[in-house]
Amino acid sequence: MFLKIGIVLVGLLSVTPIMLFVERRGSALLQNRLGPNRFGPQGLLQSVLDVLKFIFKEDRAPGHVNKFYFSLAPLVVVVPALMTFAVIPFAGNDFIIANLDVGILYCFSIASLGVYGIIMAGWASNNKYSLLGSLRSSAQMISYELTLGLSIVGLIMIFQSVKLGDMVSAQGETLFSIGGIDVPKWGIFLQPVGFILFLVSSFAETNRLPFDLPEGEAELIAGYHLEYGSMRFALFMLAEFVSMTVASALLSTLFFGGWQYLPGFSWIAHLFSDGNIAVTYLVSTLLHGISFVIKIASFMWFFVWVRWTLPRFRFDQLMNFGWKVLLPLALLNVFVTGLLIYLGVL
């Protein structure tokens, strides 16, 4: 139990310095620049310097803020973000912190708490830009949560379970095979529309570009974390990267088979299955974990890629897109999935 919590927490916390590096160098790569490449090989140690800077900077709150809520807000953002990973199996179904009956509903309910941190930050900062940022954020979060929830209803109907472990196990089966190549029963092949809807709304839920209107620096300077500095600001950043990781983990668990082997991994696992049960179990667990991490990492790169490629939406465009395009599509997806299940196709 504590070992699993330890693995997940260390993993989630170490994502931030890694992603800082990937984000900087990745943006430079996409925009044909060099990026920070001086300190350490390829600029790898730059993130360490950044963390040190955040820690040693003076932690001061401006005079006009509500001190209690101002200090509470970063915590309210970070803690739910870290808690959501508890129901995601990360290396075989034994490696899950809490195998809850409600499964993915837990993820959604805890993730919906994160918005309070942003609202608190904006309100306690006592600054009109911050307040506007947090108002935008609460409107955006509520709107896109609907699509996020509805987009996986189809998957729940197909897999007949809300437990993520059951879903991943079901995705290990073969959907069909062409010329000796088995196509696995991954969620993306069963619910392509659901995948796109979930992907788009998870961008909105994690406040990443093209949906980062709560901080939109062109209009709101920095939005809800305008008055924050040093470690408190770093906590907001941490929360953003952690919720990005959780979103990537959910995307790979729901639609890309979670800890199921990537193509080729079953061959490596076969090499080590020489009869010793302990070794076989260890190797397969390790390979499951590596597969899951690779899937998460590719989605994280996708998040970075999109951020530095697409421009920001306008707020009315965001709302129209959420309510008039994504929500009807999600409802239609649920209806069509139900019809296909009723007809016996799925």
Site stretch for other proteins (CB under 8 A), options 6-14, 128-136, 190-198, 203-211: 128-136
d(CA 221, CA 272): 55
Q: Which is nearer to other proteins, 100 or 268 (CB)?
A: 100
Out of 34, 49, 55, 142, the residue judged to bind other proteins by CB under 8 A: 142
In the complex, the smallest distance separating the C-beta of residue 249 from other proteins, rounded to whole angstroms, is 19
Out of 48, 79, 139, 341, the residue judged to bind other proteins by CB under 8 A: 139
Q: Which is nearer to other proteins, 43 or 154 (CB)?
A: 154
- Per-residue x/- mask for other proteins, residues 70 to 109, rule CB under 8 A? ------------------------------xxx--xx-xx
Q: Is 131 helix (H, G, I), strand (E, B) or coil?
A: helix
Distances (CA, A) of 158 to 17, 161, 245: 38, 8, 25
Q: In 84-178, where does DSSP find H-type helix?
A: 104-111, 114-124, 128-151, 153-159, 164-170
In the complex, the smallest distance separating the C-beta of residue 7 from other proteins, rounded to whole angstroms, is 23
- Per-residue x/- mask for other proteins, residues 54 to 73, rule CB under 8 A? ---------------x----
Site stretch for other proteins (CB under 8 A), options 112-120, 251-259, 292-300, 322-330: 112-120
CA neighbor of 18 nearest in space, from 248, 327, 300: 300
Distances (CA, A) of 70 to 67, 107, 112, 280: 5, 26, 20, 51
Q: Which is nearer to other proteins, 72 or 283 (CB)?
A: 72
Give the helix/strand (H/E) hosting 183: strand 181-184
User: Binders of other proteins among 148-177, rule CB under 8 A?
Assistant: 162
Out of 93, 99, 138, 285, the residue judged to bind other proteins by CB under 8 A: 138
- 120 touching other proteins, by CB under 8 A: yes
In the complex, the smallest distance separating the C-beta of residue 244 from other proteins, rounded to whole angstroms, is 19
Q: Which is nearer to other proteins, 47 or 84 (CB)?
A: 84
User: Binders of other proteins among 192-251, rule CB under 8 A?
Assistant: none
Q: Which is nearer to other proteins, 161 or 230 (CB)?
A: 161
Q: Which is nearer to other proteins, 270 or 314 (CB)?
A: 314
In 264-297, which positions are buried (b, 16+ CB within 10 angstroms) versus exposed (e)?
Answer: ebeeebeeeeeeeeeeeeebbbebbbbbbbebbb
Residue 215 DSSP label: T
d(CA 27, CA 70): 31
By CB atoms closer than 10 A (0-12, 13-18, 19+), residue 225 is buried
CA neighbor of 65 nearest in space, from 131, 164, 2, 112: 131
In the complex, the smallest distance separating the C-beta of residue 310 from other proteins, rounded to whole angstroms, is 27
Q: What is the phi-psi region of residue 206: left when phi exceeds 0, alpha when psi lies from -120 to 50, beta otherwise? A: alpha
Site stretch for other proteins (CB under 8 A), options 37-45, 110-118, 264-272, 309-317: 110-118
Out of 48, 113, 297, 306, the residue judged to bind other proteins by CB under 8 A: 113
Give the helix/strand (H/E) hosting 286: helix 277-307
Out of 4, 28, 75, 116, the residue judged to bind other proteins by CB under 8 A: 116
Please report, as ranges, the residues that interact with other proteins according to CB under 8 A: 69, 100-102, 105-106, 108-110, 112-113, 115-116, 119-120, 123, 131, 134-135, 138-139, 141-142, 145, 162
